[in-house]
Amino acid sequence: MDCFQTICCLKGSLGHQFLLFIVWLSSFQVAVALQTLLEPSHVSSTSELATPPNFGIFGPIEISPAILPRNPYPDESLAPMYPTFPTTYKPNLTGKCPVNFTALSNIIDKTASDCSQPLAALVGNVICCPQLGSLLHIFQGYYSVNSDKLVLQNAVADDCFSDIISILASRGANKTIPTLCSVKSLNLTGGLCPVKDVVNFEKIVNTSKLLEACSTVDPLKECCRPICQSAITEAALEMSRTQLTTNDNEELVTEHNRNDPLSDCKGVVYSYLSRKLSADAANAAFRTVSACKVNKVCPLNFTRPLEVIKACRNVAAPSPSCCSSLNTYMAGIQNQMLITNKQAIICATVLGSKLRQGGVMTNVYELCDIDLKDFSIQAYRQQGCLLRSLPPDVILDNSTGFSFTCDLNDNIAAPWPSSSSISTLSLCAPEMSLPALPTSQIKNPGNRGGELELLVPIFSFFIFSALLY
């Protein structure tokens, strides 16, 4: 089964019942490589080919998934298998969070599918946690909309936080997301930020400037020329400074230094923004801002590549043992999680510098044909899936299950660092010269000179469950 990805068995809590979750990674929607594009007969009939291929760079297209679920064990007589869509149920609420969640239903559904049970850990860093954070900010703004407060009291924050997680779980989200995403009820309380109400907030912060900067955030510019992020930081700084000038209590000051009031105040700024912006505008702004943060770091866990160093040191020409060792190492990385194209560039550089530090001076990526997409989860041996730098939400379709869109901008060689230090890496400086950066939406859509449209594989995850004895 070439599209088979992982099986994990979860021991059920009831007696000897087991739940078998099989996550399918299938891209029935053919991911067309360059050669295939030149042979149109191989393109599946459901594919869309926007423009005839030219040459050069790859551009993204979104296509809808067309997928057939199949039984992974046709010869085994397991209990009936069927695609499971999130089983929704009525959540068990505390009854102590005085909020009508109906108004937040859309954003809660979006978050639940972004953090859906089997996918949460795979997309946690790039999709689920950013969306969960955004939901918490929006909840905070919504909670306080009829009062002067911008934050929740500690006790009610616990109840509301627990209700939010229960509701998300009741709509298919993984219950472990607070741990996965390092969020807790304190995220709703404003922590040690000294400003927690609207009157003082508006006294201290230039709110027209803040709202102007954050009401629409340009995803293509924000990460390199931050406007909303700067406005948020500036507002949070002004608020946290208020504490230090109006309160000379030394003990408090040390406590604040330890606990990062700036970060707490940023939470209050988000709450204010949520109050003033529509849920959709706020969500879009928060997701863009968090994507900027996410794209600065490679989230993969690289163990020390000792074997690779041993096999590849002093290698100058293609060497089977070096490449096989590198491929083995890469296969381990590929199981970890989905990452964005920008993260892949950083990851390639991080691994490259580890190798250089170990004395591997030749560009082994080139030698062994390692592409950027090799740093992400693979559907077939050669088809990596990198997300766009602004990762779109997970799509939940009630006939096909979960899917998400990959970006094939990434079909380029992994960059080999020019030194063993990664401190010089900037994805902004020569902004447009990085081939894997997203193409501008602002660009005239008719102007596709030099670009090759590729079909984007949609990796669809099918979840089947079966009860075994």
Ligand X SMILES: *[C@@H]1O[C@H](CO)[C@@H](O)[C@H](O)[C@H]1NC(C)=O
Q: What is the DSSP string of 280-335?
A: HHHHHHHHHHHHHHHTTS--------HHHHHHHTT--S--HHHHHHHHHHHHHHHT
Segment interacting with ligand X (CB under 6 A) among 115-123, 379-387, 429-437, 444-452: 115-123
- What's the CA gap between 62 and 315, in Å, rounded? 41
Q: Which residue is nearest to ligand X (CB)?
A: 133
Residue 102 binds ligand X (CB under 6 A): yes
Which residue, 133 or 141, has its beta carbon nearer to ligand X?
133
- Of residues 210 through 249, those in contact with ligand X by CB under 6 A are 212
Residue 92 binds ligand X (CB under 6 A): yes
Residue 188 binds ligand X (CB under 6 A): no
CA-based nearest residue to 136, from 233, 278, 270, 290: 270
Instruction: Using DSSP, state whether 243 is helix, strand or coil.
Output: helix
- State the minimum distance, in angstroms, from the CB of residue 417 to ligand X: 21
- State the minimum distance, in angstroms, from the CB of residue 103 to ligand X: 5
Neighbours of 289 (CB within 10 A): 23
In this chain, which of 46, 64, 176, 200 binds ligand X, going by CB under 6 A? 176
Q: Which residues contact 145 (CB under 8 A, 6 or more apart)?
A: 275
Would you put residue 59 in left (φ > 0), alpha (ψ -120 to 50) or beta? beta
The token duo for 30 is 């053919």
Which residue, 184 or 221, has its beta carbon nearer to ligand X?
184
- What's the CA gap between 272 and 207, in Å, rounded? 9
Residue 292 binds ligand X (CB under 6 A): no
- State the minimum distance, in angstroms, from the CB of residue 80 to ligand X: 17
Residue 117 binds ligand X (CB under 6 A): yes
> Quick one: which H or E segment has residue 157?
helix 154-170
Q: E-assigned strands of 336-438?
A: 339-340, 386-387, 395-397, 401-405
Measured on CA atoms in the order 43, 45, 48, 52, is the torsion positive or negative? positive
Residue 120 binds ligand X (CB under 6 A): yes
- State the minimum distance, in angstroms, from the CB of residue 94 to ligand X: 8
Residue 293 binds ligand X (CB under 6 A): no
- Of residues 375 through 404, those in contact with ligand X by CB under 6 A are 398
Segments in 195-249 forming alpha helices (H) = 198-204, 207-215, 228-246
Residue 419 binds ligand X (CB under 6 A): no
The token duo for 372 is 């950027």
Residue 103 binds ligand X (CB under 6 A): yes
- State the minimum distance, in angstroms, from the CB of residue 269 to ligand X: 11
Which residue, 133 or 305, has its beta carbon nearer to ligand X?
133
- State the minimum distance, in angstroms, from the CB of residue 37 to ligand X: 33
- What's the CA gap between 135 and 64, in Å, rounded? 27
- State the minimum distance, in angstroms, from the CB of residue 252 to ligand X: 17
- State the minimum distance, in angstroms, from the CB of residue 333 to ligand X: 10
Residue 121 binds ligand X (CB under 6 A): yes
Neighbours of 3 (CB within 10 A): 17
Which residue, 136 or 436, has its beta carbon nearer to ligand X?
136
CA-based nearest residue to 58, from 451, 456, 458: 451
User: Total binding residues for ligand X by CB under 6 A?
Assistant: 27
The token duo for 424 is 């010089």
Residue 315 binds ligand X (CB under 6 A): no
407 touches 366 (CB < 8 A): no
Residue 71 binds ligand X (CB under 6 A): no
Which position has the token pair 């040390």?
254
Residue 208 binds ligand X (CB under 6 A): yes
Which residue, 187 or 319, has its beta carbon nearer to ligand X?
187
Which residue, 26 or 207, has its beta carbon nearer to ligand X?
207
- What's the CA gap between 136 and 152, in Å, rounded? 11
- What's the CA gap between 90 and 101, in Å, rounded? 13
- State the minimum distance, in angstroms, from the CB of residue 198 to ligand X: 16
Residue 57 binds ligand X (CB under 6 A): no
Which residue, 205 or 458, has its beta carbon nearer to ligand X?
205
Angle at CA 175, nearest 5°, toward 169 and 176?
A: 155
In this chain, which of 174, 271, 341, 349 binds ligand X, going by CB under 6 A? 174
Residue 136 binds ligand X (CB under 6 A): yes
Query: Which parts of this chain interact with ligand X (CB under 6 A)?
Result: 10, 21, 92, 100, 102-103, 117-118, 120-121, 133, 136, 174, 176, 180, 183, 187, 191, 206, 208-209, 212, 263, 267, 301, 303, 398
